Structure formats: C-alpha cells, structure tokens
A and B are shown apart, each in its own frame.
Chain A
Amino acid sequence: MRILIADDDAVTRKLLDATLRRHGWDVITANDGNGAWRAFEELKGKDAPALAILDWMMPGVEGIEICRRLRATPGFESVYVILLTSRADTMDLALGLAAGANDYMAKPFDPLELEARVRVGERMVTLQQRLNARVTELEQALAHVKRLQGLLPICSYCKKVRNEANYWEQVDSYLSTHSDLDFTHGICPTCSDKMMKQLDESTV
C-alpha cells in the first residue's frame, strides 16, 4: 500500500518515513499541503496513495483542507486520511473528523500506535477495494440482464404488443428480444379442437 506523508517539519517527515518503511509500506513525502495535493493529482489512478498522513498546520494549504478536497474529488473519496497534529482539544478532533478524516493522531506520535492505526487503515482500504470490484462486477452483470417491466400496450383482439419504437409486433417476438426466453411453437388443446373442426368441415 502506498502512503503519502505531508508535514512541513523535516524531523517528523523523516521519522514517519523511516517508521513506515521499516514495516514495508511504500512511502512518498510532501513538504507542505501544495506538494501533497500535487502528488495526488499527478499520481491519480492506480499509483495514487491509498492512505495519507497529513499534518494539520502547514504553510499554504493545511492538512484539513487537503482532507476536504480529497472527499470532494472523484477518485479520491476513499483515500484513508489520518490527521497528525499537536492540536489536541475536542473541538479540533471534531473539526478534523467533520472535514472527512478517518482518524486522528496526536503529535508527538508513538511508533507502535502509528503502525497500529496504519494497519487499521490498510484493512479499510482493502475492504473498500474489494467492495468497489464487486460493484463493478455486478454493474457489468446487470448490463447483460434483460428485464421486463412497466406497462405494455397489448391488442385486446390479436394480442400483438406495441414496442418502444411504437410498432405492433407479435408477443412471442417481443418477449424473445426483451428477455432470455426462447419459444418452441406448438398448438394448445382449444386451438387444436378448433382446427380439427375446421378441417372436418372443409373436407365435408
């Protein structure tokens, strides 16, 4: 999993980078909010970071603003965001979560806690990816499903139906094109009797 770190403090950035790499994660870093946003825009798609650790207070664009932008941008809504900050009161926590952060860690961070929270994020990212794949599968399957629904005009006499193009067509023809039904043509007992009578009368 690729992780983006954005913090204007070189010490924090180095420590985060080293701690995450030690656990095998792929890490990219940004010195400020503008750099972080640029990284997302440039890496859009499968190379984009799936998880971001953002410092709240940074020059230029703050971490909380990056969080809002991610939530508002198609393709980035599911990025797992951990806000990292020494702003620790309840109001700040509420603001951060309301802006769309998934988690919040106080500075100075504890390496064990960081690892644990990133692993939680990784689980969520994996679940989200599986869900997205499943939705795509279902949408593709649905596109191939033919469904009959709604009101269908039908002639009370000959039983022809009026299709979407406003043409009257035989009901078996309509059903064949609008469902997975196939027809095998026969004769029902009532029509069979009628036909037999007609034949007898014509013979006589």
Chain B
Amino acid sequence: MTLVGGDRELACQLAELFLEDLGPRITEITAAVSELDPKRLHAGAHALRGSAGSIKADIVAAAAGVLEAMGRASKLDGVQRALDDLTIAVASLRPRLVALAARA
C-alpha cells in the first residue's frame, strides 16, 4: 500500500490494468519462444518485467527478467523451462490480482 500511498482504489485499478495486459503479453512471449525469436522475446519479456515490477510482483518480474536476458543475449537454451517458470509464477499471482481487482 506504500506504493499507492494508501489509496485502495488505485491499487484495485492497477490490478485491473495489469490483468488486462497480462494475457496478450504472455501470448506474445509464448509466440516468441515457439518461434525462437530472441528480439521479440526480449521486447515482450522486458515489457512484462517492467509492468510486474511496478506493482511489486517480484516473482513474475524475476521470471520475465530471465527470459528478457535470454532474448537480449540471443541465447535460447533452456528458454522453454524459463517460460514454464513464468507460467507458474503468473498462475500463482493471478488469483490474488483478480480478487483485488474485484474490490474496485
């Protein structure tokens, strides 16, 4: 709540916004991984990392960061495992954000 200055309504709005973009972002990253496109992966993962970091979703941000680094370095060994880690992190976060957004 420090992030939003105690503003609960803002917290709910942020959760909503994050969830709106989350699906398309995961789709983009998944497509980049399946096409083994490092540039696309870097851009997609960078965007998700930034957004997740903004709402202090640190585990999702870290998982996106791993994929971002792979994309930047064009080193895609183990990229599927990294994507699985991201998927797990997102699955863990999503219900909490859905619950928060529902309070808006």
Question: Which range contains the number of A residues in contact with the other chain?
Answer: 10 to 19
Q: Are the CB atoms of A86 and B50 closer together than 8 Å?
A: yes
Assuming the contacts A18-B4, A22-B5, asked whether A12 and B43 have C-beta atoms less than 8 A apart, the reply is no
Q: How many A-B residue pairs have CB under 8 A?
A: 57
A159 at the interface (CB under 8 A from B): no
Residue of B21, B46, B55, B56 touching A57 (CB-CB under 8 A): B46
Q: Are the CB atoms of B51 and A12 closer together than 8 Å?
A: yes
- B3: which A residues are within 8 A, CB to CB? 15, 111
- B53: which A residues are within 8 A, CB to CB? 86, 107-108
Give chain A nearest CB distance to B89 CB in angstroms: 16
Assuming the contacts A18-B10, A57-B43, A86-B46, asked whether A12 and B54 have C-beta atoms less than 8 A apart, the reply is yes
A91 at the interface (CB under 8 A from B): no
- A18: which B residues are within 8 A, CB to CB? 4-5, 7, 10
Q: Are the CB atoms of A15 and B46 closer together than 8 Å?
A: no
Interface string of B1-20 (1 = CB under 8 A from A): 01111010010011001101
A165 at the interface (CB under 8 A from B): no
User: B interface, by DSSP: helix, strand, loop or mixed?
Assistant: helix
Residue of A11, A15, A19 touching B21 (CB-CB under 8 A): A11
B47 at the interface (CB under 8 A from A): yes
| Bound Cα distance A33, B10 (Å) | 25
Q: Are the CB atoms of B50 and A10 closer together than 8 Å?
A: no
30 A-B pairs in the complex with CB atoms less than 8 angstroms apart? A9-B47, A9-B50, A9-B54, A10-B17, A10-B20, A11-B17, A11-B18, A11-B21, A12-B50, A14-B13, A15-B3, A15-B54, A15-B55, A18-B4, A18-B7, A18-B10, A19-B5, A22-B5, A57-B43, A57-B46, A57-B47, A86-B46, A86-B50, A107-B50, A107-B53, A107-B54, A108-B50, A109-B54, A111-B3, A111-B5
With A8-B47, A9-B47, A12-B51 known, 5 other A-B pairs at CB within 8 A are A9-B50, A55-B50, A57-B47, A86-B50, A111-B2
Q: Which residues of B contact A (CB under 8 A)?
A: 2-5, 7, 10, 13-14, 17-18, 20-21, 43, 46-47, 49-51, 53-56, 61
Q: Which 6 pairs between the two chains have the least Cβ-Cβ distance? A: A108-B53, A10-B17, A9-B51, A11-B51, A12-B54, A11-B54
